[in-house]
Amino acid sequence: MKFSVPDMSCGHCVAAIEKAVLSKDPAAIVLCDLEQRTVDIEAPQTADELVEVIRAAGYELSPLATS
């Protein structure tokens, strides 16, 4: 699942998002692209569950369509 995170602006943001997702699922694969301000996550959780975890960490995000 890929998400747009417009307020992800630095390495601290990347680390906070990765930590939040990994606290939900330590086996998740989290790929943050700071330049594009996107996060790609491979995990069994639903998009809604991941959105909730990242929002709880203080970041607004929205799912991106995947082709």
- Is the model's pLDDT at 59 over the cut of 80? yes
Look at residue 29 in the predicted model and tell me its pLDDT. 97
CB 31 within 8 A of CB 39: yes
Euclidean distance between CA atoms 64 and 24, whole angstroms? 21
- Is the model's pLDDT at 25 over the cut of 90? yes
Enter the tokens of residue 47: 């998009």
Look at residue 66 in the predicted model and tell me its pLDDT. 65
CA dihedral 5, 9, 12, 16 (to 10 degrees): -10
When pLDDT is cut at 50, 70 and 90, the band that residue 65 belongs to is confident
pTM metric for this prediction:
0.91
Block residue for tokens 């959105």: 51
CA distances from 36 to 27, 32, 41, 53 (A): 24, 9, 15, 21
- Is the model's pLDDT at 67 over the cut of 80? no
